[in-house]
Amino acid sequence: MDLQFLGTSSGVPTKSRNVSATAVIEASGKHWYLVDCGEGTQHQLLRSSLSVRDLRAIFITHVHGDHCFGLPGLLASAAMGGRSEPLDLILPTALHAWVRLALSASDTHLPYPLRLLPVEQMAPWQSAQVQVSAVPLSHRVPSVGFVFTELNPEPRLDVQRLVAEGIPRGPLWGHLAKGLTVEHAGQRLEACDYLKASRPPRRVIVCGDNDNPGLLAEVARDVDVLVHEATYTQPIVERNGNSFGHSTAAAVAQFAETAGVRNLVLTHFSARYQADPKRSPCIDDVREEAQKYYCGHLTLARDLQRYRIGRDGYLLPVMA
């Protein structure tokens, strides 16, 4: 699974960071999923290799505008782009009427089926490639993280079983390898029974806003990648006397270290953190604060950067 960040700023866009949106891309590289959809997400897609035609589902972590105001435009542009595939949109119930009103009031007609599902009663959602479940977080409004788990990654023929059942090597094996159902000795053989994952499934968690990383203790066990907000650094929260329901880099780093998270990605940075290291506060302050508490593989998300979990299990930038 790859990750591509379409927005890494908190609350408001800046010149170099848009508001929240994260693409989770199947290992096949084709279909993908979107977590949050701040205003301008469709604009960011124009600057990526992702197409809204290949988008399988959208997941919204919470109701705040910087996480969802890009929905109407994305849905309308997908329509104008001729999308016909169904699209699932999993989001807080409080936003359902707003999305529907955006489409009806603007006279927007979608040529594809759009299914709105409530995140609050979300049963694990799944496609052929991934299962997605929600984990409750703590913020000023209800917020969740989404746990992506690969299903049957890189399936290979279960040769042991085929041989044991006396299914002859040849065209039958080839058809099963392609996922087709075959007949043999008067019996129907389903491909899924003869294909098994050739590596363990990856697990990635992409969180919404959250001031209590400890809520992830259970789901973060053995996770490959944890994507979590680090809106502030400690000195800023101390000066403001308020974290507004957000986490500091320190708090997330401490949690990730304790939980043994292999790859931690921080995102959703307050617009006050400058890119220029000569200015203060700057984004390096966030990195330095996290590194004090976390010895694992740390990444500070950058807009439009795509990352891949390598064979060694570490998340690395994919060169364009």
Tally: H helices and E strands in the chain: 8, 19
Residue 73 or residue 213: which is nearer to a copy of itself going by CB? 73
- From the list 251, 260, 268, 250, the residue with the least C-alpha distance to 219 is 260
For the CB of residue 239, give the shortest distance to a copy of itself in the complex, in Å.
17
Specify whether the CB–CB gap between 315 and 296 falls below 8 A: no
Q: Does 73 bind a copy of itself (CB under 8 A)?
A: yes
Cα-trace Rg, the chain: 21
Task: Given the residues 2, 36, 66, 224, select the one marked as catalytic.
Answer: 66
Rounded Cα distance, 37 and 193, in Å: 37
67 labeled part of a ligand binding site: yes
What is the pattern of x (binds a copy of itself, CB under 8 A) and - over residues 107-146?
xx-------------------------------xx-----
Torsion sign, CA atoms 320, 50, 32, 190: negative
For the CB of residue 9, give the shortest distance to a copy of itself in the complex, in Å.
11
Q: Give the pairing type, strands 114-118 and 125-126.
A: unpaired
Choose the stretch contacting a copy of itself; rule: CB under 8 A; options: 102-110, 163-171, 295-303, 308-316.
Answer: 102-110
Return all residues near 206 (Cβ < 8 A) that are at least 6 apart. 3, 22, 24, 35, 61, 145, 146, 148, 227
* Residue of the chain from 27, 48, 54, 76 that contacts a copy of itself (CB under 8 A): 76
Residue 187 or residue 242: which is nearer to a copy of itself going by CB? 242
Residue 164 parent element (H or E): helix 159-164
* Residue of the chain from 31, 64, 203, 268 that contacts a copy of itself (CB under 8 A): 64
Q: Does 13 bind a copy of itself (CB under 8 A)?
A: yes
- From the list 319, 241, 246, 248, the residue with the least C-alpha distance to 281 is 248
Choose the stretch contacting a copy of itself; rule: CB under 8 A; options: 32-40, 122-130, 145-153, 231-239.
Answer: 32-40
Choose the stretch contacting a copy of itself; rule: CB under 8 A; options: 94-102, 148-156, 210-218, 274-282.
Answer: 94-102
Q: Does 275 bind a copy of itself (CB under 8 A)?
A: no
Rounded Cα distance, 46 and 212, in Å: 34
Q: Does 88 bind a copy of itself (CB under 8 A)?
A: no
Residue 62 or residue 228: which is nearer to a copy of itself going by CB? 62
Is there a catalytic annotation at residue 66? yes
Rounded Cα distance, 76 and 80, in Å: 6
Other Cβ atoms within 10 Å of 66 Cβ, number:
22
Choose the stretch contacting a copy of itself; rule: CB under 8 A; options: 66-74, 129-137, 167-175, 253-261.
Answer: 66-74
Chain-centroid distance, C-alpha 82:
25
- From the list 305, 313, 320, 310, the residue with the least C-alpha distance to 3 is 305
Footprint of a copy of itself (CB under 8 A): 11-15, 18-19, 38-40, 42-43, 46-47, 63-66, 68-70, 72-73, 76-77, 80-81, 94-95, 97-98, 101-102, 105-108, 140-141
Residues that constitute the known binding site for Zn(2+): 62, 64, 66-67, 139, 209, 268
Residues that constitute the known binding site: 62, 64, 66-67, 139, 209, 268
Active-site annotation, residues: 66
